[in-house]
Amino acid sequence: MTDDTVSIAINGTSHPILCGICKEPVAFIGEADAEPRQVGCAGCGNIDDVEQVARMTAEYAKDEGQMILNRMARDAARKSKFMTFEGKTAHDKAHRFIVDLKL
């Protein structure tokens, strides 16, 4: 990971933040210590302030964690005659900033 790549720590592990539009790693726009601190993807213009990017990425990680659990429950229910699963297994909204949890 390069020094200008922005990441988020989840359970003590650092994950790069990706643009939700083009899936490329995001970076600081301009100087990292300038106010307001802007982060995003210069290639596609998906840019916001660092606090908003952190909030959106944390929301995505929470949603993705739930989707992973739902897919595991769905797969377990498929193998069982006694269990059924009803729930979302894919995101129903677009996320501007995402993180690859690699779970």
The residue type found at 55 is: R
Residue range 31-74, pLDDT digits in tens: 656 677 899 998 999 999 999 999 999 999 999 999 999 999 99
Strands 97-99 and 46-49: unpaired
Domain residue limits, the chain? 7-99
Please say whether the dihedral angle defined by the alpha carbons of residues 52, 66, 101 and 13, taken in this order, is positive or negative: positive
The residue type found at 74 is: R
- CA separation, residue 8 to residues 3, 44, 47 (Å): 14, 21, 16
Cα 17-23-29 angle, rounded to 5 deg: 55
pLDDT tier for residue 2 given thresholds of 50, 70 and 90: very low
Tell me how crowded residue 17 is: count the other CB atoms within 10 A of its CB: 25
Please state the pTM of the whole predicted model: 0.80
